[in-house]
Amino acid sequence: MDFASLIGIILGFALILGAIAIGGSSDVFINVPGMMIVAGGTIAATFLTVQFRDVLNAFKAAWIVFTRDRTNAQEMIDTMLELSRISHRHGLLKLGDIETNSHVLRRAANLLAEAASEQVIRNTLQNEIDSLISRHHTVQDVFKKMAMYAPSFGMLGTLIGLIQMLSALKDPETIGPAMAIALLTTFYGSLLSTVIFLPIAGKLRARTLVEVTNLEIIREGCISILTNDHYAHVYEQLSSYLPEDSRKPLRLGKTQDDANGKKT
């Protein structure tokens, strides 16, 4: 569970609702026709712009991002270092037996076990990276479009409310409430855009950067393993993906174990 996202959503709505409650009656902020215009219009415009399948995939991806923990770069580096140790002790063929939830890592390990060339491994994993970026860009674009449409339909709802208000100017007492109702749709559109759609798009983009980094670590780690680089060399190359103050110190005992494993 991504607690930062959960805290952000709860805190955002809590502050807005708290400000509304402190300012007076909250009933005036409820307008069903305005909600229908903003929510229905945003959904309809999104379906007109992108494929239905892409919209479903976008919401599925958002759910996965908010409910599943991500694999950080340090964990992926540790995994590649473990594969390096296995290859030095038992050979590349042993890498075909590893168990992992990452289909990309499993595919890369199988390529190593099959003694694929460096160019094949590099091209294959680069294709995986490009494909991931393309898929995630489509998902992010759905929420960016919804963030763009929501305020527009909010303004459209406000114009509808103003037209209805101006058509009933004979009763001055109704102008104030009618104006408030007209402005509510703009409020709904801005709320959806700034509190829901744009933050989700930003979170998806952040997750994309993390996953791309992990795939790059897999790619470079596999190339190092294929070229039979020393364990310490693999560590130095992959640790460059982390900030210096976040890097784990290299445990040299592991390399000594590898050396002993080779001798036996």
Task: Band the pLDDT of 249: cuts 50, 70, 90.
Answer: confident
Tell the residue number behind the tokens 């933050």, with chain if given: 199
Cβ burial 91-116 (10 Å sphere, 16+ → b, else e): ebeebeebeeebebbebbbebbbeeb
- Higher-confidence position of 20 and 125: 125
Identify the pLDDT of residue 2. 66
Identify the pLDDT of residue 146. 95
Tokens of 117: 């060339």
Identify the pLDDT of residue 227. 84
Instruction: Report whether pLDDT(144) > 60.
Output: yes
pLDDT tens digits, 93-121: 888 888 888 889 999 999 999 888 899 99
**For residue 95, how far is the Cα from the chain centroid?**
30
pLDDT tens digits, 198-242: 999 998 998 899 999 999 999 999 998 888 767 778 888 888 888
Boundaries of every domain in the chain: 1-30, 31-263
- Higher-confidence position of 63 and 245: 63
Q: How far is residue 124 from each of residues 110, 111, 197, 222, measured CA to CA in Å?
A: 12, 9, 34, 11
Contacts of 62 (CB under 8 A, 6+ apart): 139, 143, 200, 203, 204
For the whole model, what pTM was predicted? 0.80
Task: Band the pLDDT of 1: cuts 50, 70, 90.
Answer: low
